Amino acid sequence: MRRIASLRLYAVLALMAVVAATGVVLSMPKASAATGSATGYASQNGGTTGGAGGQTVRATTGTAIHAALCNRASSSTPIIIQVEGTINHGNTSKVSGDSCSTAAGVIELKQISNVTIVGVGSGATFDQLGIHIRESRNIIIQNVTIKNVKKSGSPTSNGGDAIGMESGVRNVWVDHVTLEASGGESEGFDGLFDMKNDTQYVTLSYSILRNSGRGGLVGSSESDRSNGFVTYHHNRYENIDSRTPLLRGGIGHIYNNHFVDIHESGINSRAGARARVDNNYFEDSKDVLGTFYTDEAGYWQVNGNTFDNIQWSSRSGDTNPAGPNPQSNTSVSIPYSYNLDSAACVPDVVNRTAGANTGLRVSDGNCTPQTPDPTEPEPEPTDPPTEPEPEPTDPPTGTNLSIGAGSDGSSKASGTSYGDVRDGDMSTYWSPNGSTGSVSIKWDSATTVSRINIREAAGATGNIGSYRVLNADTGAVLASGNGAGVVSFPATSVRKITFQITSSSGTPRIAEYETYAG
């Protein structure tokens, strides 16, 4: 069996395969945020609907995702966030608001509910950036790729987990995602799909987990047994050392998955966990089911599985594999309905349906992929945040209050100046050090402002995407929308007013940031 040292070579080969298939991926049907319904345990406990019925917004940066969450009316207001492009540390900042609790360098779904994050268009990739779900419920994550999230080295995110859940999480459906690393713990990576500290009613479906030392766990220690009711179906676990998954306490339902090239141990049921293992295909792997690395036993019920070229260790000490002839040692009752594909067709049907950018296809239970119908009409997307944009207006007249004022902002690009946005000269400009950032106009005493005019430099027209206008004295959002130009809002007395760019389609260049009293 290959060990973690082989992961780097495998990752390169996998990347080459993805590149070769790019044309196919890009031609797949555009994802719909309302496609399909939650399956497995995520369909229980009241069900998982995510942001169904809420506003649909579009985000191309992590900051824009956070802004969409933070500008909801409340932390439970439903919202569907359509994501396209690459989300990384450079475009993921902390955003503050009454309806969110976010952090830089991670997509933070904390103390919120009723949210869908779905990749659309040419796809969404979270590069070295994880998704952290904490004290939240009714969350859907669909059609995204999350890769190379590290817990050590640089940059780090989410404790090294691609998707991590903890602390009173309920009802999460993760569907048609690709979770991958480029090595194991010694290379700085941790789990791909982890749950701990009272996380329940979760389903992982039609997804790919690969090239990692650890697939994922349920429970962080032998005493953390408050988790469970987790379903894993139609997933492909490939080139992984262990934890596919590791279960501590609780119940797991594992059906119609394809496990290939598992190096050390696979489904590790321990510490009283009970796993129902139905119609899976295990291939070219080692010790794919049992209790490992502990003397606290777990249990399993097995039905209809195929074991193809599996190496089984001898039972000794804390190594207790279920094979070479796995038999049930418990009985697990499943409360929801589900259609089982035959194990013999699992490699084919999973290969044709699992992962991001596969058209959200599913199996009909007869080994035939199909695309489910939308569950509800999808509203047209708008740009975050949720406040309506003002009607277009003519350039304002009167005194430009920015002339003679002060200015500052976030890190600026080399060769640019904050003062260039208030000098009345369209040939000079300020740019952020990156694709997003903020610039402010400030005065020594309170000044009334009700309109601003953002004027982009020549050659950069249309680069500014979504924005927020902030009262920098209080942090209040005065206005929001998309693109440069005139922005009106209720007259406000401020000493500093900030224009915050939360997404862009190119390098923003602001030649003039004009402010007016009326």
Query: What are the backbone angles phi and psi of residue 206, rounded to the nearest 5°?
Result: 45, 50
CB atoms within 10 A of CB 316: 7
Is the distance from CB of 240 to CB of 260 less than 8 angstroms? no
- 3-class secondary structure, 307: strand
CB atoms within 10 A of CB 323: 17
Chain centroid, CA 358 distance in Å: 17
DSSP β-ladder status, 299-303 and 274-278: parallel
DSSP β-ladder status, 476-482 and 466-471: antiparallel
The DSSP result for 223-242, as a single string, is T----EEEEEES-EEEEEEE
How far apart are alpha carbons 157 and 345 in whole angstroms?
Answer: 37
How far apart are alpha carbons 235 and 254 in whole angstroms?
Answer: 9
Chain centroid, CA 509 distance in Å: 29
Name the active-site residue from 214, 236, 243, 248.
243
Helix (H) or strand (E) holding 406: strand 406-409
Is the distance from CB of 31 to CB of 143 less than 8 angstroms? yes
Nearest to 280, CA basis, from 311, 254, 249: 254
Is the distance from CB of 437 to CB of 91 less than 8 angstroms? no
Nearest to 435, CA basis, from 64, 147, 56: 64
CA distances from 52 to 64, 80, 366 (A): 20, 7, 29
Please say if 509 is a catalytic residue.
Answer: no
CB atoms within 10 A of CB 20: 9
User: Where in the sequence numbering do the catalytic residues fall?
Assistant: 243
